[in-house]
Amino acid sequence: MAFEWLTFRRYVAGATGMAGLLIALGIYTAASGSGLACAQQWPLCDGGVLPQSIPSFVEWFHRLWAMLTGFVIFGGAIWAWRADLPRATTAAAVVAAVLTPMQAVFGAITVTFEGAIPGGYSAPVHAAHFLTGTTIFLALTYTTLTSSERAVGTPAERVRTALRVAAAGVGVSVLVSRAVPLVGFGPWMQGGFYLVALATVAALLGAVRWLGALGRPRLRAATALATLTHLGAMVLGRDLVYYTATVRGLNLALALTAAALVAGTLWSVETGRERAERAGAPTDD
């Protein structure tokens, strides 16, 4: 059949990727000033269905991608509910679907600005929009991880791959973050930064889960702490707080802490494997 290749794990992995791209696109839209380009209207734009300028097209396309992503997320929740999947997998897919309408409401408020919705835009709504979107991404990531475990390598192989991806991700995140003025933190850079940062979060969540399967509680705790500090750096890198010199210092400290924890955990896993191989002991591969 034509769709035999479309398994649940591939479907939800695609949904996770779409959600990550949506967050990055939303950040670019806000940073470029395109969020209010539809004359503060929602769901209409420039008084009609189609946009009338390049900035309004950016906002319009963001809304279109959000709608498509939402339908895909709902489809994943229905599939998970009807399939014979672990309870945690189904629950995560349902959480993502439940939060999606709420995210749409927050998105509408952020672009109406005293327009169609009373009260309009405010900093708390902006924060809620960002944090709800991130939570949806995390729920989809967990759904993807738990549904892919039987099909992708051993726990040891998965841990090493996840930590290597996370190490590369935190390194890039530090270099292009708002706290490190090596490059301008313009709209494109902000969107790219969050795309890399979200992929890093996904890898860290996988490492946390699979280190538990290996019985490595200390390394698992270090990776969990790296995940939290990385998320903290992401939040501070967004326009949710006034970016003073103190906040910049805290942002940099969190980013460097996450990088150090990931590097240390990866080094411990790799050297432990090498010692086991030299001793002729099994490595769980």
User: What pLDDT, in 10s, does the model give residues 31-84?
Assistant: 888 877 776 777 778 777 888 888 889 989 999 999 999 999 999 999 999 988
Q: Which residue blocks in the chain are alpha helix, DSSP H?
A: 8-31, 54-82, 87-112, 123-148, 155-175, 187-213, 217-236, 245-279
Contacting residues for 210 by C-beta, under 8 A, at least 6 apart: 149, 155, 158, 159, 162
Tokens standing for residue 17: 């990727």
- In the chain, where the domains are located: 1-152, 153-285
What is the pTM for the complete model shown?
0.88
> Residue length, the chain?
285
| 113-166 tens-digit pLDDT | 544 555 556 667 777 888 899 999 999 999 999 998 777 778 888 999 999 999
Predicted confidence (pLDDT) at residue 249 exceeds the cutoff of 70 = yes
Write the DSSP symbol of residue 150: G
pLDDT in tens, 184-203: 778 888 899 999 999 999 99
pLDDT at 260: 96
What is 153-285's CATH number, 1.20.120, 1.10.287, 1.10.150, 2.40.50?
1.20.120
Average pLDDT of span 168-181: 89
Range of lowest pLDDT (15-24, 81-90, 107-116)? 107-116
CA distances from 6 to 12, 76, 79, 105, 284 (A): 10, 12, 12, 31, 30
Contact present, 9 and 188 (Cβ < 8 Å): no
For the cut 70, the answer to whether the pLDDT of residue 180 exceeds it is: yes
- The CA distance from 141 to 199, in Å, is 9
Predicted pLDDT of residue 285: 47
